[in-house]
């Protein structure tokens, strides 16, 4: 532990990153944020979901004196983070309304005894217990997660958050770190002022998530949607994804459909009881579900890093929500797919939501932007990044528009047909009727209005309704047609549109692509995996075996798969294909504690994947103690991580030393202490020898009673002595 006055050096912090997390490098912004809070400065950290915010406060908490108070409104997430920390051997607990009150009290007591490095707490509870905490707990600093909840401008305003300014009043000298994944400018500016932060160090990370592929599929039928989702499930057979739907009813309907096709599906919406919700979240986190159909309420409280895909069955109301929701995929940094199913009727529904929201103007303009994104023909990531005011000056190569730039067609005649159909109705119809007229539909409504006698009736029979839908959307986007949002969404030509009708202006549109051709058609990886294909690469076999082992471990520890080891770490192991225990050292994400806990199942999985039989070599247990020791852990830490006694660990280390391993014995007992105690032991031996038969004490007891030297020190000195002598 660092001393009270001196903050840990950059090297200490890097060392802690290795030791506690098994990571060799910081992600952008992490090191600076950690450094700022450790030097006593306030900090504001803005990073996208999956950017690595947790580490920004966890790591400084671990190397500081006292306990870090972490405020979070998301109770389930809080409990997950605590579980994940504890699985990694790190002292954290939570206080919130979901826990038993006795557990909350135990958490406070542990913090008061100085046994915790992180105490997670809900804002309500923190505010209620401020005095109690002040009097009993030594606080290193305060971290406020989801800090955007403080802003009235944000999409997730929580009144209780505005009370958090009391933290600064109560503890004027305790540094505060505010964290959020919200990129919205107004919200950003609000946070620091509302919390009363003083000249905070501020980090605004890039919100780009290059590993998320972006795709918008326009006009897909229900069947095509189901097919697309089923192929995602198939492709990521062992993993899972989320289907976001607009309403409770749609969520249930979609879940039922997916269930019918044999997909293990869960359903999540505001109508469930807390117990039902909890169960669905558990099943999802534990990898029991392949798909979850949910309203937006889902995912806030979930910190699952290996969600491989997100589908929006309906368009979200704004880019912030959309980005946050797709951001729940691929938090581990591995490739993940996102698909937005876009249809015009959703825009109409959303438009009316916006109007009823009481904040019509702001919500309508947010929806406009969302719509422009969905209808865009240019790189989608450029649009997103420009929305978040970020410089992004190249095409991303990982969105549908970049991957399949759509050829253009001369659509002047096509556009004229649509525009004159609109004009002939006196601009008094919406999209569907216009399409019906163009296609010469036999619907009674058309005859009633005499539309079958219009010259444009049936002039567009050569195109499907879906094609017309897509082309009219493009015309709206190009500003040729406008939608009367205040008048039943009737279509009407704009000035530019009238020019087209008058043949004064040509029109180019992007060629329509059928929805089933719009989705990715890569061969399914996991299909092959399922059949235990001998062609499977060693890499894939290792991964398969590792996942199976992980499943067993997660079950027996009753924690989520990703809390045992993340997918990224499993991939790193498979990439490295380590031959021996020591080759596990330095694998990204394999902290020392995890190495100690899981080296056996990992090595077994590797052996199995290589079709080797037999058991693991002897002496591994000692080797692990040596690795942990040389990785910076002390004897007691090793003992507690491995559930061994300290004397066993000392025995391991001394044996390794004797075998010629590089072990610094003076970290077990400082050299001076060693020689002092050794001299005392020698004199104890001679004293006892002089007493001869009357001596009824062992040398250890003698040392303890005469010099107050504890038995454990005596044992260690003896062990070291033997190691040194017999070498």
Which member of 8, 35, 51, 430 binds ligand ADP (CB under 6 A)?
A: 51
Least distance between ligand ADP and beta carbon 550 (Å): 14
Three-state secondary-structure class, residue 226:
helix
Instruction: Tell me the three-class secondary structure of 195-207, residue by residue.
Output: HCCCCCEEEECCC
Which helix (H) or strand (E) is 564 found in, with range?
helix 561-564
- Kindly write out the interface string for residues 563-592 of this chain, putting x where it contacts ligand ADP by CB under 6 A and - elsewhere: ---x---------------------x----
Per the structure block, which two tokens stand in for 595?
Answer: 């190495």
Q: How far apart are CA 229 and CA 692, in angstroms?
A: 85
Distance of CA 579 to the CA centre of its chain: 31
- 180 lines the binding site for ligand ADP (CB under 6 A): no
**Based on CB atoms, which residue is closest to ligand ADP, 332 or 637?**
332
Closest CA to 230 of 252, 253, 268, 261: 261
Per the structure block, which two tokens stand in for 600?
Answer: 């056996």
Q: How far apart are CA 493 and CA 498, in angstroms?
A: 6
- 209 lines the binding site for Zn ion (CB under 5 A): no
Closest CA to 156 of 178, 176, 177, 181: 181
- The footprint of ligand ADP on residues 652-711 (CB under 6 A) is none
Which member of 235, 381, 492, 594 binds Zn ion (CB under 5 A)?
A: 381
- 156 lines the binding site for ligand ADP (CB under 6 A): no
Per the structure block, which two tokens stand in for 566?
Answer: 């993340």
Tell me the CA distances in angstroms from 140 to 43, 137, 175, 257, 590, one per residue in order. 14, 9, 8, 51, 27
Q: 23 contacts which partner out of ligand ADP, Zn ion, none, CB within 5 to 8 A by kind? A: ligand ADP
Binding residues with ligand ADP: total (CB under 6 A): 19
- 402 lines the binding site for Zn ion (CB under 5 A): yes
- 60 lines the binding site for ligand ADP (CB under 6 A): no
Which member of 396, 435, 587, 624 binds Zn ion (CB under 5 A)?
A: 396
Least distance between ligand ADP and beta carbon 30 (Å): 6
Q: How far apart are CA 183 and CA 390, in angstroms?
A: 10
Q: How far apart are CA 284 and CA 411, in angstroms?
A: 47
Q: 379 contacts which partner out of Zn ion, ligand ADP, none, CB within 5 to 8 A by kind? A: Zn ion
**Based on CB atoms, which residue is closest to ligand ADP, 73 or 219?**
73
Least distance between Zn ion and beta carbon 396 (Å): 3
- Kindly write out the interface string for residues 317-346 of this chain, putting x where it contacts ligand ADP by CB under 6 A and - elsewhere: --------------xx--------------
Q: 550 contacts which partner out of ligand ADP, Zn ion, none, CB within 5 to 8 A by kind? A: none
Question: Which of these segments, 379-387, 611-619, 670-678, 691-699, binds Zn ion (CB under 5 A)?
Answer: 379-387
**Based on CB atoms, which residue is closest to ligand ADP, 27 or 250?**
27
Q: How far apart are CA 603 and CA 610, in angstroms?
A: 11
**Based on CB atoms, which residue is closest to ligand ADP, 594 or 642?**
594
Least distance between Zn ion and beta carbon 454 (Å): 41
Question: Which of these segments, 18-26, 117-125, 353-361, 370-378, binds ligand ADP (CB under 6 A)?
Answer: 18-26
Three-state secondary-structure class, residue 380:
helix
**Based on CB atoms, which residue is closest to ligand ADP, 212 or 246?**
212
229, with CB counted inside 10 A (0-12, 13-18, 19+), is buried
Q: 51 contacts which partner out of Zn ion, ligand ADP, none, CB within 5 to 8 A by kind? A: ligand ADP
Closest CA to 304 of 284, 288, 289, 323: 284
CB of 37 within 8 A of CB of 140?
Answer: no
Least distance between ligand ADP and beta carbon 570 (Å): 12
- 55 lines the binding site for ligand ADP (CB under 6 A): yes
- 146 lines the binding site for ligand ADP (CB under 6 A): no
CB of 449 within 8 A of CB of 390?
Answer: no
- The footprint of ligand ADP on residues 266-305 (CB under 6 A) is 303, 305
**Based on CB atoms, which residue is closest to Zn ion, 399 or 603?**
399
- 26 lines the binding site for ligand ADP (CB under 6 A): yes
Question: Which of these segments, 26-34, 188-196, 452-460, 490-498, binds ligand ADP (CB under 6 A)?
Answer: 26-34
CA angle 510, 512, 516 (to 5 degrees): 140
Least distance between ligand ADP and beta carbon 606 (Å): 22
Least distance between ligand ADP and beta carbon 31 (Å): 9
Closest CA to 350 of 444, 485, 160, 248: 485
> What strands lie across the sheet with 92-95, from one edge to the other?
92-95, 118-121, 67-71, 139-144, 176-180, 43-46, 201-204
- 379 lines the binding site for Zn ion (CB under 5 A): yes
Three-state secondary-structure class, residue 450:
coil
The label of the residue with tokens 């958490």 reads: 107
Which member of 8, 52, 73, 651 binds ligand ADP (CB under 6 A)?
A: 52
Least distance between ligand ADP and beta carbon 44 (Å): 14
- 50 lines the binding site for ligand ADP (CB under 6 A): yes
Three-state secondary-structure class, residue 316:
coil
Backbone φ and ψ of 241, nearest 5°: -150, 175
Kindly write down the DSSP assignment for every residue of 629-683, as one continuous string: HHTT--HHHHHHHHT--HHHHHHHHHHHHHTT----GGGTS-HHHHHHHHHHHHH
Least distance between ligand ADP and beta carbon 599 (Å): 20
Q: 402 contacts which partner out of ligand ADP, Zn ion, none, CB within 5 to 8 A by kind? A: Zn ion
**Based on CB atoms, which residue is closest to Zn ion, 370 or 624?**
370
Closest CA to 326 of 370, 364, 269: 370
Question: Which of these segments, 25-33, 249-257, 264-272, 369-377, binds ligand ADP (CB under 6 A)?
Answer: 25-33
Q: Taking phi first (over 0 means left), then psi (-120 to 50 degrees means alpha), and beta for anything else, what does residue 6 get?
A: beta
Kindly write down the DSSP assignment for every residue of 30-50, as one continuous string: HHHHHHHHHTT--EEEE--TT
List of residues contacting ligand ADP (CB under 6 A): 23, 25-27, 30, 47, 49-55, 303, 305, 331-332, 566, 588
List of residues contacting Zn ion (CB under 5 A): 379, 381, 395-396, 399, 402
């Amino acid at each position: 532990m660092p001393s009270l006055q001196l903050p840990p050096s950059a090297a200490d912090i890097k060392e802690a990153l290795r030791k506690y997390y098994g990571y060799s490098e910081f992600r952008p912004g992490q090191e600076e944020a950690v450094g700022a809070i450790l030097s006593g400065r306030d900090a504001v950290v803005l990073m996208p979901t999956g950017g690595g915010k947790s580490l920004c406060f966890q790591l400084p908490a671990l190397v500081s004196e006292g306990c870090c108070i972490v405020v979070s409104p998301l109770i389930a997430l809080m409990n997950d983070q605590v579980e994940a920390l504890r699985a990694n051997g790190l002292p954290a607990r939570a206080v919130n309304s979901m826990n038993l009150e006795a557990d909350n009290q135990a958490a406070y007591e542990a913090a008061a005894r100085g046994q915790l490095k992180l105490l997670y707490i809900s804002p309500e509870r923190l505010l209620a217990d401020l005095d109690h905490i002040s009097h009993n707990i030594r606080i290193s600093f305060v971290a406020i997660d989801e800090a955007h909840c403080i802003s009235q401008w944000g999409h997730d305003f929580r009144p209780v958050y505005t009370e958090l300014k009391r933290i600064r009043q109560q503890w004027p000298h305790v540094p505060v770190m505010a964290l959020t994944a919200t990129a919205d400018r107004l919200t950003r500016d609000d946070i620091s002022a509302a919390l009363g932060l003083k000249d905070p160090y501020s980090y605004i990370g890039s919100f780009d998530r290059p590993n998320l592929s972006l795709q918008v599929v326009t006009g897909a039928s229900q069947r095509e949607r189901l097919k697309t989702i089923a192929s995602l499930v198939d492709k990521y057979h062992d993993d899972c994804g989320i289907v976001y739907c607009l309403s409770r009813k749609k969520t249930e309907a979609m879940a039922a459909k997916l269930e019918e096709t044999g997909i293990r599906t869960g359903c999540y919406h505001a109508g469930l009881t807390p117990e039902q919700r909890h169960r669905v979240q558990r099943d999802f986190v534990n990898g029991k579900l392949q798909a979850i159909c949910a309203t937006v309420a889902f995912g806030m409280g979930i910190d699952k890093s290996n969600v491989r895909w997100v589908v929006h069955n309906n368009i979200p109301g704004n880019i912030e929500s959309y980005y946050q929701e797709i951001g729940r995929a691929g938090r581990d940094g591995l490739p993940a797919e996102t698909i937005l199913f876009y249809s015009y009727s959703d825009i109409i529904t959303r438009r009316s939501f916006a109007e009823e929201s009481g904040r019509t103007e702001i919500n309508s303009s947010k929806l406009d932007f969302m719509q422009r994104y969905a209808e865009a023909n240019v790189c989608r990531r450029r649009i997103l990044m420009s929305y978040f005011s970020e410089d992004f000056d190249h095409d991303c190569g990982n969105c549908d528009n970049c991957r399949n730039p759509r050829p253009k067609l001369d659509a002047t005649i096509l556009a004229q047909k649509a525009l004159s159909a609109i004009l002939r109705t006196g601009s008094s119809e919406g999209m569907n009727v216009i399409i019906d007229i163009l296609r010469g539909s036999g619907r009674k409504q058309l005859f009633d209005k005499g539309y079958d006698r219009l010259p444009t009736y049936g002039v567009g029979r050569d195109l499907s309704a879906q094609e017309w839908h897509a082309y009219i959307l493009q015309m709206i986007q190009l500003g040729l047609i406008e939608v009367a949002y205040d008048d039943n969404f009737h279509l009407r030509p704009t000035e530019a549109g009238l020019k087209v009708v008058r043949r004064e202006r040509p029109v180019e549109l992007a060629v329509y692509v059928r929805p089933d051709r719009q989705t990715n058609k890569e061969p399914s990886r996991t299909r092959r995996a399922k059949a235990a294909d001998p062609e499977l690469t060693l890499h894939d076999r290792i991964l398969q075996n590792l996942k199976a082992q992980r499943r067993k471990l997660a079950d027996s520890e009753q924690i989520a798969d990703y809390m045992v080891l993340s997918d990224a770490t499993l991939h790193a192991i498979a990439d490295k294909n380590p031959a021996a225990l020591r080759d596990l050292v330095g694998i990204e994400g394999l902290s020392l504690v995890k190495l100690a806990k899981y080296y056996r199942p990992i090595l077994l999985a590797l052996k199995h994947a290589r079709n080797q039989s037999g058991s693991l070599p002897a002496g591994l247990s000692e080797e692990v103690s040596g690795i942990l020791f040389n990785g910076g852990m002390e004897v007691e830490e090793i003992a507690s991580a491995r559930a061994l006694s300290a004397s066993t660990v000392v025995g391991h280390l001394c044996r390794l030393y004797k075998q010629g391993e590089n072990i610094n014995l003076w970290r077990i007992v400082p050299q001076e202490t060693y020689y002092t105690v050794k001299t005392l032991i020698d004199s104890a031996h001679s004293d006892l020898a002089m007493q001869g038969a009357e001596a009824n004490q062992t040398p250890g007891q003698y040392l303890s009673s005469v010099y107050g030297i504890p038995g454990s020190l005596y044992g260690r000195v003896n062990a070291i002595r033997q190691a040194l002598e017999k070498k």
